[in-house]
Structure 1
Amino acid sequence: GLGSNRKLNILSINTSTKQYSLAVMKDEILLGEYILPSGPSHFSNLMPSIDDLLIKVGLEPQKLDGLIVALGPGSFTGIRIGLSVVKGLSQCLNIPIIGVPTLVAMASQLPYLNEDICPLVTSRKGEVFTALFRWGANGQLSRLIEDTCLKINDLSSITGNKAIFIGNDFNNQGPILKQQFGEKKILAPANLWNLKASSLGILGLKKLKKGHSDSLSELVPIYLREVDIRLPKEVS
């Protein structure tokens, strides 16, 4: 097990939102972080980017103590890529993986606010994966609404009078939210949008410190609607 006194070197990976992000941390301290465009051509860049980041921060892969990965909801293809990368690294380096839900980690990027926090991740056209969170007096983030998939125009059905939005596509979601809510709702600053791998790292580190490790059966994408994959029908 991992001693809770020793500082842990962790690599965290987010491939669930519009931008990919990689972070290397020593406990809570961020050593280096990349934010990369997502897309089919960028899958091939993921491993070289990980190698490059580790070189830049001066850490050999063998010195990593754990891996943190975003489980979604979000880009199904992206999440599967992230999971396959961390599973490969975990087997190769014999280190644990912690999976973190995307919307929880996004909400955690807006710490200690009094308002409800509403994270959004693009689903199919016009729809978003979303949930609602609130910070408690104890500094813990609590969930008000389970992850759900909604038309972006129906967000008012879950957000009360006050909510702060943090999405994954400011160019497209920002104007829609401003048009829908006017001054009633607040958008987090655009540079805080998307999901930083370091935010995953902070959340996953707590579990690693307790000696937790997710099993392969727990490391599956969180998705909230039927995936558009035509499976061959069984012929009886």
Structure 2
Amino acid sequence: MKILALDTSSIVATVAVMDDDRLIGEYIINHKRTHSQKLMPMIKALLESCEVTMKDIDIVAVAKGPGSFTGLRIGVATAKGLAHAQNIPVVGISTLDALAFNMPFSEGIICPILDARRNQVYTAVYKWENKDLYSIEKPAAMSIKELVEKLIERPEKVTFLGDGIEANREYLIERLGERAVFSPNSVKMQRASSVAELAMEKAKNGEIQNYFELVPTYLRKSEAERQYEEKMKRCGNGES
């Protein structure tokens, strides 16, 4: 079974091809958020380098969020378009699940944090047990202070990864001390290979979707939606 996986949920654009348990190739670009320009060329180049065509792909997997609203739309739309063209199924993977999967068999707990703007992060908490990754706090958008209050209640070391680290590193160290551990740069950001491996497990369990069913996971409303609602409230107040 060959899987084409992609993740454009942040500034990182990453694409991978996996054949059963073998990673054939992976591209990662962490430079500017121009996914609409670089994603399809990346896919084309990777397939050519791996000597694979879309006709060889059995499933398209994509990070479905949370993350950048624009990035998610591009990634999910691309995955749906590719799957539609080849009439193959898709698998949507949580961005946070895939990030946590970057740290296999870590001790303690794993806490990916993604910049959600408006002084919030997208986050969840995971733990490895018997070679399986379990979610112990569901994905949510919250302030870093709210997250730390949850983590303080637990005794384990916490491994952080994701693009929310740099803005919050000092605060995390201040509140958690030596319990705060930060992942190496090579696994700190999204990797399509993690999306592919998680998708492979789901596919083996029959957890696949028709491309019509795949939708992004946003966790909260976009900035444009919030601004529109605020504008409508102001207009309503002005008329009353």
After TM superposition, the score normalised by the length of structure 2 is 0.85
TM-fit CA distance, 1:181: 3.1
Distance in 2 between the 1:207 and 1:177 partners?
34
SS in 1 for 2:97: helix
Structure 2 residue 201 is matched with structure 1 residue 209: no
Aligned to 2:179: 184
Task: Give the secondary-structure state (helix, strand or coil) at the position aligned to 2:117.
Answer: coil
Aligned length: 225
> What is aligned with 1:153?
145
Identity %: 34
Post-superposition Cα deviations, 1:181-212, rounded to whole Å, max 9, x if no partner, equal 33231111122111100001001011223344
Task: Supply the distance in 2 between the matched residues of 1:171 and 1:116 (Cα, whole angstroms).
Answer: 19
Contact 1:103 1:130 in 2 (8 A): yes
Deviates more, 1:183-192 or 1:162-171: 162-171
* 1:48 CA displacement: 1.1
Among candidates 203, 214, 227, match of residue 219 of structure 1: 214
Q: Which residue of 2 is the match for residue 46 of structure 1? A: 39
1:61 matches 2:66:
no
Q: How does 1:2-21 map to 2 (within 5 A)?
A: 8-21=1-14
Deviations 1:36-82 (A, max 9, x none): 13645331111111001100111112111111100111111101100
TM-score (norm 1): 0.87
From the two aligned structures, give the one with the greater helix fraction. Answer: 2
1:120-149 deviation per Cα after TM superposition (whole angstroms, max 9, x unaligned): 111014311001111123x22111111111
Change (3 A) 1:221 1:154: same
Local SS of the residue matching 2:160: strand
Note the alpha carbon deviations across 1:74-108, whole angstroms, 9 max, x for none: 11110110011011100111111000111111111
Is 1:165 the counterpart of 2:160? The answer is: yes
Contact 1:169/1:194 (<8 A) preserved: no
Does the 8 Å CA contact 2:84/2:211 hold for their aligned counterparts?
no
Instruction: Measure how far apart 1:214 and its partner are.
Output: 1.4
Conserved in 2, the CA contact under 8 Å of 1:15 and 1:38? no
Task: Name the SS for the 1:95 alignment partner.
Answer: coil
What is the 5 A alignment of 1:48-127? 48-127=41-120
Deviation, structure 1 residue 153:
3.4
Distance (Å, rounded) in 2 between the aligned partners of 1:124 and 1:217: 30
Runs of 4+, deviation exceeding 6 Å: none
CA distance in 2, matches of 1:164, 1:148: 18
Change (3 A) 1:110 1:57: same
5+ residue gaps in structure 2? 233-240
Distance in 2, Cα, partners of 1:213 & 1:64? 14
